[in-house]
Amino acid sequence: MSFVGKVWKILVGIKDGLVLLFMLLFFVALFGILSARPNPGEVRDGALVIDLAGIVVEEKSVLDPIEALLTRSAPVGETRARDVVRALDAAATDTRVKAVVLDLSTFLGGGQVHLKDIGEAMDRVRKAKKPVLTYAMGYADDHMLLAAHASEVWLDPQGMAMIAGPGGSNLYYVGLLEKLSINARIYRVGAFKSAVEPWSRSSMSDEARVNIGGLYGALWEEYKANVAKARPKLALAQITGDPAAWIESSGGDMAQAALSAGLVDKLGDRIAFGARVAEVAGKDPWSDLPGSYAASELGAYLADIGQPKQGKAIGVITIAGEIVDGEAGPGIAGGKRIADLLDEALDDDLAALVVRVDSSGGSVTASEEIRRAIQRHRDRKIPVAVSFANIAASGGYWVSMSGDRIFAEPETVTGSIGVFAVVATFERAAARLGVTSDGYRTTPLSGQPDFVGGFSPEMDALLQTSINGTYKDFLALVSRARRMPVEKVDGIAQGQVWDGGTARQLGLVDEFGGLGDALGWAAGKVGTKEGEWHAVYLGEREADYDSLIRQLVKGDDARSINGHNGDIFAMTTMRSEQLTARISRDAERLLRARGVQAICLACPAPIPAVSAGPHPALQRSEGMMTLLAWLVGG
């Protein structure tokens, strides 16, 4: 009995210890949650510091706390473009803000429309006679789209700045699939639906080259016009025409080359930059550290200025990222999640609805689910405006067909009206391994789809017929919404992608304008003037634990991993890491179960939200890539 009693005491002690441990963790987490929230009381006279760590997005993605804690890694930081614009516009008239600082040290990029909007807001701050300064170790294309609008652009003497222009190489896997004896069965409509070309060709088709060349050419012209207008002395032709000679002219000193070409204004380390900011914004009264200056952070400033709430409510639903079936998101457009948000808003007495789209598409069924939910608002005589951000193509265009009016920017990528499906079968690979398939069938579709024995001709015909029907549905939707004959829609469809200017000429959008213009149009339709309405972003709420989890898992080298800290070789290595993630995503697209897709893979690729540790896509695909490697070796 004494032995049992001792064991019992040990178990009770373990239980009490675990209870105390969990209570301690609970209160630590509670304290972290409360302290992680931006505090408006931290705003003071000085500079407004906007640290654009990571990527600029339309909608911030949700951090999975369990995955982040288990892997000790978190996705890169995300900053909403409209938050930056709202802060800059408030700073222009805020007497507490003496200057604005954009820290681009760990900035990874963003969409061209978002960066243009932020640049225009920077211009409004400068017009209010307030300096805007930027600092970074390295400036690339997206950095310069912002920095061109600054009063002073600072570069570390060990850093670099350059502009490469849009474009690059695609990956084609038909040779690899042949070696692996994998059949990529492709069902498509549209001569320009280049989304399937990676699995059917070894190079880009002439049709795709012409269409994408026109798109990228238009985006490049918009980029050059934007930068040249903001920074007239920039020697853009020299930088992009013969970059090797440009660097050589400065003896290989890339920082000095950037200065001589007008990419940057000042060379100096962070201490020198901080001293300069202190001259225009004031010294930090709480710190004597070198390079310190009086400043307020973006989060605290946004909390301080708040959101307008007066007048009628105009709902804004955000459709950002790949459109998928189910509850996914934010950051990914889960069809059921978005449709539920729209249906719940039917009881919210919204005066109007604005649909904000920043998506290259995805699942046809999810796109249609969202479109029908938008249509239910329109059926109640609620005005519906659609606002395109960087991309509104394929499924991103499909969901917009229930709007009354479509707004886009000249840089918006749109169109790609076409559908496809890719299904991998393994009959040849199985035969190589000595696996065959046989059986009894009562009809041509018995046992289909058979991924080992192969698809029957009837199965192939059925799938292609389904794709043809979905394409006809897409054309009919566009025809009704845009009030043009189906034949005309078919002529500008076929999977072609367009810049916003061409899309407007073709009748795919109604007018140029951003989210503010769409909101203003919607307000005008319900008879309200400026100051008599406010925007309500449906379903927008950031998890309270997000900032805390990011702090817990952030490693000491997170800034160097996620940013452009370093020289040209560090930036080259980052490109290599992005390529690995890209190959993994392409493999997933081929082998993961998917329905009919209306997605634009020819559109400019978004910045991958890679983590400080292994990318989740790489982790998910590890077994798959191992299998492929084994098949090749076998």
Catalytic residue numbers read 193, 394
Give the DSSP H/E element, type plus range, for residue 573: helix 568-591
Residue 489: strand, helix, or coil = helix
Residue 587 neighbours by CB distance under 10 Å:
18
Question: Which residues are within 8 A (CB) of 339 and not within 5 positions of it... i.e. 6 or more apart?
Answer: 369, 370, 372, 373
296: left (phi over 0), alpha (psi -120 to 50) or beta: beta
Cα dihedral across residues 147, 357, 590, 204: positive or negative = negative
Pairing of strands 183-188, 420-425: antiparallel
Cα dihedral across residues 567, 573, 575, 581: positive or negative = negative
Count of all residues that appear for the chain in the document = 634
Give the DSSP H/E element, type plus range, for residue 154: strand 152-161
Expressed in angstroms, the distance from the first to the final Cα of the chain is 63
Q: What gap in Å lies between CA 616 and CA 607, rounded to an integer? A: 15
Residue 35 neighbours by CB distance under 10 Å:
11
Query: CA-CA distances (angstroms) from residue 341 to 83, 106, 423, 561, 601?
Result: 22, 34, 32, 36, 28
173, with CB counted inside 10 A (0-12, 13-18, 19+), is buried
Q: What gap in Å lies between CA 315 and CA 378, rounded to an integer? A: 13
What is the Cα 442 distance to its own chain's centre? 49
CB-based contact 392:358 (threshold 8 Å)? yes
Residue 119: name the closest of 81, 175, 154, 156 by CA.
81
CB-based contact 174:260 (threshold 8 Å)? no
559: left (phi over 0), alpha (psi -120 to 50) or beta: alpha
Phi and psi torsions of 272, nearest 5°: -65, -40
Residue 110: strand pairing partners: 56
Residue 417: name the closest of 161, 205, 602 by CA.
602
Tokens of 422: 């890719």
Residue 508 neighbours by CB distance under 10 Å:
26
Tokens of 322: 């790949």
232, with CB counted inside 10 A (0-12, 13-18, 19+), is exposed
